[in-house]
Amino acid sequence: MIFVTGGAGFIGANFVLDWLAQSDEPVLTYDKLTYAGNLNNLASLRNDARHIFVQGDINDGELFAALLSKHQPRAILHFAAESHVDRSIHGPAAFIATNINGTFSLLEATRAYWQTLDASQQAAFRFLHVSTDEVYGTLGAEDPPFSESTAYAPNSPYSASKAASDHLVRAYHHTYGLPVLTTNCSNNYGPYHFPEKLIPLIIANARAGKDLPVYGDGLQVRDWLYVSDHCAAIRRVLEAGRPGASYNVGGWNEKTNLSVVHTLCDLLNELQPKSGGSYRDQIRHISDRPGHDRRYAIDARKIERELGWKPAETFETGLRKTVAWYLANDAWVQQVQSGEYQQWVDLQYKNKEQA
Ligand code: NAD
Ligand code: TYD
């Protein structure tokens, strides 16, 4: 079987669902269920004997070690993290605790377990660490995209904590020989995306008749990848990636934030027109994020060359599917927004100056 940490979050849940749609190899999902973790994401697996859910913190090395010894997984896919840049600006401590200390704890438990395996099991074992392009920092308009040899230069507490975790993972390979793999992916979007991130926030606010907040001039650039393409890349890296290597994963799809918001408004105008006017009328520029990275772009040639992966969705097809999913899943959005969500919205957006 495989273990998936953070499997009740956005990308982890998509990964678990896609995995079990394509394979009968069982999955143990290990998740603390923070504000971002949601068992409803995995509701379709409730009576599926191939799936086990355990609520736990990745800092709880004892619990994790007991699960390793009981279930003897052949791989650990590590998605669990604090993942929101804006939250890391308001409260970095949780990012240090989970992304750095938690990854360390997981590596220690994994190393101890891996050392109990026989030589052929050790050789076949994988620890796959899911990371981000944000570890590379920010690009100027004319700079080449991030490659696997770009120097790390993280700028936010989130990206700094992910960079630290990447370094620990790398060190466990070089020092102990643990067969690790790291993926550094660009911004994902798709079903089950928590509605405090740009794309689901814009969809939810547009439909609720609320302001569509754009930080600063909105000309910051991100590369966007549909989540199932990211999941396919991870499966491929797990299957054929070289232990110790890292792989950049991206959509070859750079967009300004403003153009993403415009496209979302236009899709909503088409799929759920509002009476009198366009959703674009709700756009408001507000004060910028401190230390806001201007541009991310991914050179994803290595994973294509070595492993034959490339994205299946274009931004147009992926975004249309995403908007359709949110339109069809009001109950999911309402459930998510009924929790701690409102406190976050007040903290982040209330009394924000117009830019
Ligand atoms: P998410 O915030 O939606 O989900 C994170 C999950 O981890 C949640 O289910 C949460 O309960 C769980 N978790 C948090 N702290 C934990 C802890 N201490 N112990 C156990 N579980 C814990 O995040 P996501 O967007 O699904 O991102 C998943 C991974 O992918 C992260 O490592 C993130 O850095 C990386 N990543 C995300 C993106 C993106 O665009 N969202 C892009 C590239 C890489
Ligand atoms: P986000 O989804 O938080 O991802 P990340 O910061 O990891 O790239 O934000 C994507 C971009 O959208 C980022 O440049 C910040 C911007 N943004 C806004 O302009 N308004 C918003 O309300 C949010 C949440 C993000």
Ligand nearest to the CA of 230: 1
Question: 194 CA to middle of ligand 2, Å?
Answer: 12
What CATH code is carried by the domain that includes residue 140? 3.40.50.720
pLDDT score at 90:
97
Q: Which residues contact 250 (CB under 8 A, 6 or more apart)?
A: 133, 145, 185, 186, 223, 225, 297, 298, 299, 300
Q: Which residues contact 315 (CB under 8 A, 6 or more apart)?
A: 224, 251, 253, 255, 263
pLDDT score at 346:
92
Q: What is the model's pTM?
A: 0.98
In a domain, 88, yes or no: yes
Q: What is the DSSP letter of 45?
A: G
Tell me the pLDDT of the chain (355 aa) as tens digits: 999 999 999 999 999 999 999 999 999 999 999 999 999 999 999 999 999 999 999 999 999 999 999 999 999 999 999 999 999 999 999 999 999 999 999 999 999 999 999 999 999 999 999 999 999 999 999 999 999 999 999 999 999 999 999 999 999 999 999 999 999 999 999 999 999 999 999 999 999 999 999 999 999 999 999 999 999 999 999 999 999 999 999 999 999 999 999 999 999 999 999 998 999 999 999 999 999 999 999 999 999 999 999 999 999 999 999 999 999 999 999 999 988 899 999 999 987 767 6
In a domain, 14, yes or no: yes
**Number of separate domains in the chain:** 1
Question: 198 CA to middle of ligand 2, Å?
Answer: 5
pLDDT score at 352:
78
> Which long-range contacts does 333-341 make (Cβ < 8 Å, 24+ apart)?
333/195, 333/200, 333/204, 335/38, 335/40, 336/38, 336/194, 336/195, 337/195, 337/204, 339/35, 340/35, 341/35, 341/195, 341/196
Domain span at 22: 2-193+224-254+295-314
Q: Could you confirm whether 134 is annotated as catalytic? A: yes
As to burial, measured by CB atoms within 10 angstroms (0-12 exposed, 13-18 middle, 19+ buried), residue 146 is: buried
User: Which ranges of 214-314 does DSSP label H, i.e. alpha helix?
Assistant: 227-240, 257-271, 301-307
In a domain, 140, yes or no: yes
- The reply to whether ligand 2 has any atom less than 6 angstroms from the CB of 220 is yes
> Are the C-beta atoms of 80 and 32 separated by less than 8 Å?
yes
In a domain, 110, yes or no: yes
Sort strands 2-5 and 75-78 into parallel, antiparallel or unpaired: parallel
In a domain, 351, yes or no: no
- The reply to whether ligand 2 has any atom less than 6 angstroms from the CB of 85 is yes
pLDDT score at 55:
98
Q: Whose CA is nearest to atom 44 of ligand 1?
A: 132
pLDDT score at 351:
76
Planar angle of CA 39, 41, 45, nearest 5 degrees: 80
Rounded to the nearest 5°, which phi and psi values hold at 56? -170, 160
Q: Could you confirm whether 349 is annotated as catalytic? A: no
Residue to mutate (ligand 2; options 89, 198, 293; most atoms within 8 A of CB): 198
Q: Whose CA is nearest to atom 17 of ligand 1?
A: 57
Distance CA 352, CA 168 (A): 38
In a domain, 64, yes or no: yes
- Tokens standing for 346? 């007040």
**What does the radius of gyration of the chain's CA atoms come to, in whole angstroms?**
20
Ligand nearest to the CA of 83: 1
Termini Cα distance of the chain? 51
SS3 336: helix
In a domain, 282, yes or no: no
pLDDT score at 177:
98
- The reply to whether ligand 1 has any atom less than 6 angstroms from the CB of 12 is yes
Q: Whose CA is nearest to atom 14 of ligand 1?
A: 81
Q: Whose CA is nearest to atom 12 of ligand 2?
A: 198
Rounded to the nearest 5°, which phi and psi values hold at 231? -60, -40
Residue to mutate (ligand 1; options 14, 34, 184; most atoms within 8 A of CB): 34
Q: Whose CA is nearest to atom 10 of ligand 1?
A: 37
152-162 residues labelled b (16+ CB within 10 A) or e (exposed): bebbbbbbbbb
Beta bridge partners of 5: 30, 78
Amino acid at 284: R
Question: 344 CA to middle of ligand 2, Å?
Answer: 14
In a domain, 37, yes or no: yes
